Amino acid sequence: MKTSIALIGFMGTGKTAAGKLLAEKTGKRFIETDGIIEEKAGKSIPDIFREDGEIGFRQLEIEAVREISNERNAVIACGGGVVLNKINIDRLKEGCIIVCLTASPQVIIKRTSGDKDERPLLAVPDRVRQVKELMKFREPYYERSADITIDTSELNVESVVDRILSEVEGNESNH
């Protein structure tokens, strides 16, 4: 029986906000892969990207997922690029139901505006184009990783969490 829920999805789909509320409502422990990475590296995500590059960051991400993927009764909010390495998803699937949060490019662009200091991948001159290209490239990765997919474009955090809870219940009774 899977007792944890992993939230995946593009930057700005609301994984952190929904994850925190979901953990609160279910009594599960909230964990963020980015938080574990920063703790282990002793530096911020932008500093990791600056000093070790995206490849260095992905390596730390793989280690973080390996460490936490067998946590029971947890809500794990994953960084947006966790799907890029299949090993991460394979590990998460062992103990987690995987919920993918999505949103339209317009909504993502709006929600992530002003985030360039926290999100190195969006610190580029043409952010709109970058978001659209990354989303398009990653779409199949999110699709094939998810047990459940929820479009959050028009939902507030409470509604997202309600949807996750009812979909997870449905998913469990189908197994």
Q: Binding to ligand S3P by residue 80, rule CB under 6 A? A: yes
- Cβ 173 to ligand S3P shortest distance, Å: 30
Give start and end residues of each alpha helix (H) in the chain: 15-26, 33-41, 45-68, 86-95, 105-111, 127-145, 157-173
- For ligand S3P, the binding residues in 118-137 under the rule CB under 6 A are 119-121
Q: Which amino acid is it at 23?
A: A
Please, which residue, 136 or 166, has the CB nearer to ligand S3P? 136
The residue with tokens 């993927």 is 69
Please, which residue, 53 or 170, has the CB nearer to ligand S3P? 53
Q: Which of 14, 19, 81, 95 binds ligand S3P (CB under 6 A)?
A: 81
- Cβ 37 to ligand S3P shortest distance, Å: 7
Residue 101 makes CB contacts below 8 A (sequence gap 6+) with 7, 8, 9, 13, 14, 15, 18, 149, 150, 152, 160
Stretch that binds ligand S3P, among 17-25, 76-84, 141-149, 164-172 (CB under 6 A): 76-84
- Please give the backbone phi and psi of residue 28, each rounded to the nearest 5 degrees, phi first: -90, 165
- Cβ 154 to ligand S3P shortest distance, Å: 20
- Cβ 1 to ligand S3P shortest distance, Å: 28
The sign one gets for the Cα dihedral 78, 31, 166, 72 is positive
Stretch that binds ligand S3P, among 62-70, 89-97, 116-124, 143-151 (CB under 6 A): 116-124
d(CA 95, CA 72): 7
Q: Binding to ligand S3P by residue 14, rule CB under 6 A? A: no
CB of 8 closer than 8 Å to CB of 145: yes
Q: Binding to ligand S3P by residue 103, rule CB under 6 A? A: no
| Interface contacts to ligand S3P, rule CB under 6 A | 11, 15, 34, 45, 79-81, 119-121
